[in-house]
């Protein structure tokens, strides 16, 4: 009975995320080969999976399994860093908007509406293309295009919070805004922020993979799952394994954060 209780969305999600983090941290120990060097000199002709190379080798003779293991590092770094940028912008705008209200709220929310009407992928592509792809460019750009939903949720929660008695009371006693936000608002909106953070990470992972797929990801030879799929598309008939495994890796990473996020969300609403 106890064990069944333990298997919930969030615990499964957390376990999957843990595995991902472990793989990323210990990549050099887990990967059978260096992901950038030639292990099977069959250039231009990808090698099928064998016992030695369980996921095959790519057109440059590199081990696909090792590349996927190392790819976890880049994906997690970009996913988490982009999530952090997204959350920082979103929370700052949401808090200010909800707490101060009035003109501040109006201006910030109209700006949010404006950003919402821009297509995020196109915007991210355009920014990365002109700013030249690098790790930093990518997570900043992803953050810049995806904070709007966070801002709206945080604003709504803050608005609700700041009308509560204890906040109104503290304000009446002359507590400064900074203190009110830090002491009363933030702790109370924190749970929803955690949920949003998990869900956002899955979105940023997808966006990062999409950018890499379009050739706008972290420059090679850093293995990135999205780019591996892009490089594999021309072999989709002759070497289908090349595109299959990195896609499964992205799917796994995104699903793990989604399970975590929805699990929390469901618990919260129950």
Is 238 near other proteins (CB under 8 A)? yes
Please report whether residue 105 would count as binding other proteins according to CB under 8 A. Answer: no
Q: Kindly identify the residues of this chain, within the stretch 56-95, that bind other proteins according to CB under 8 A.
A: 59-60
For residues 38 and 61, the answer to whether their CB atoms sit within 8 Å is yes
Nearer to other proteins (CB atom), residue 93 or residue 206: 206
Contact with other proteins (CB under 8 A): which of 52, 114, 160, 190? Answer: 114
Instruction: Pick one of 25, 48, 107, 122: the residue that binds other proteins (CB under 8 A).
Output: 122
Which three-class secondary structure state does DSSP give residue 57? strand
Cα distance between residue 23 and residue 215, in whole Å = 25
Q: Which of residues 128-157 bind other proteins (CB under 8 A)?
A: 129-133
- Which position among 119, 166, 179, 268 is part of the footprint of other proteins (CB under 8 A)? 119
CB of 123 to other proteins, least distance (A): 7
Report the alpha-carbon distance of residue 229 to residue 154 in Å, rounded: 36
| Contact call for residues 199 and 259 (beta carbons, < 8 A) | no
Question: How far, in Å, CA of 29 to CA of 23, rounded?
Answer: 9
- Provide, rounded to whole angstroms, the least separation between the CB of residue 164 and other proteins: 22
Exposure pattern of 160-171 as b/e (b: 16+ CB <10 Å)?
ebbeeeebeeee
Told to check if 220 binds other proteins by CB under 8 A, we report yes
Q: How far apart are CA 30 and CA 69, in angstroms?
A: 8
SS3 242: helix
Q: Which spans of this chain sit near other proteins (rule: CB under 8 A)?
A: 9, 36-38, 43-45, 59-60, 110, 113-114, 116-119, 121-123, 125-127, 129-133, 202, 206, 209-210, 213-216, 219-221, 226, 229-240, 243-244, 246-247, 250-251, 254-255, 258-259, 262, 269
């Amino acid at each position: 009975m106890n064990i069944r209780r333990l298997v919930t969305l969030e615990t499964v999600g957390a376990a999957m995320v843990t595995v991902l983090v472990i793989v990323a941290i210990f990549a050099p120990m887990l990967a059978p080969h260096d992901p950038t060097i030639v292990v099977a000199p069959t250039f231009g002709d990808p090698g099928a999976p064998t016992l030695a190379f369980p996921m095959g080798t790519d057109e440059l003779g590199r081990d696909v399994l090792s590349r996927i293991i190392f790819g976890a590092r880049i994906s997690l770094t970009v996913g988490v860093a982009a999530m952090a940028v997204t959350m920082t912008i979103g929370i700052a705008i949401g808090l200010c908007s909800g707490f101060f209200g009035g003109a501040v709220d109006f201006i910030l929310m109209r700006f949010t509406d404006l950003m919402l009407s821009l297509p995020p992928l196109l915007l991210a592509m355009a920014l990365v293309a002109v700013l030249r792809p690098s790790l930093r460019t990518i997570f900043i750009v992803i953050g810049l295009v995806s904070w709007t939903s966070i801002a709206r949720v945080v604003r709504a929660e803050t608005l609700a919070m700041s009308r509560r008695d204890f906040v109104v009371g503290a304000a009446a006693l002359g507590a400064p805004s900074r203190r009110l936000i830090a002491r009363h608002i933030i702790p109370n909106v924190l749970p929803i922020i955690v949920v949003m953070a998990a869900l956002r990470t899955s979105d940023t992972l997808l966006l990062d993979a999409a950018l890499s797929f379009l050739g706008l990801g972290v420059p090679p030879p850093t293995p990135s799952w999205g780019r591996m799929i892009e490089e594999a598309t021309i072999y989709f008939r002759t070497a289908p394994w090349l595109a299959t495994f990195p896609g499964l890796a992205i799917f796994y990473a995104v699903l793990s954060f989604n399970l975590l996020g929805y699990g929390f969300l469901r618990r919260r609403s129950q």
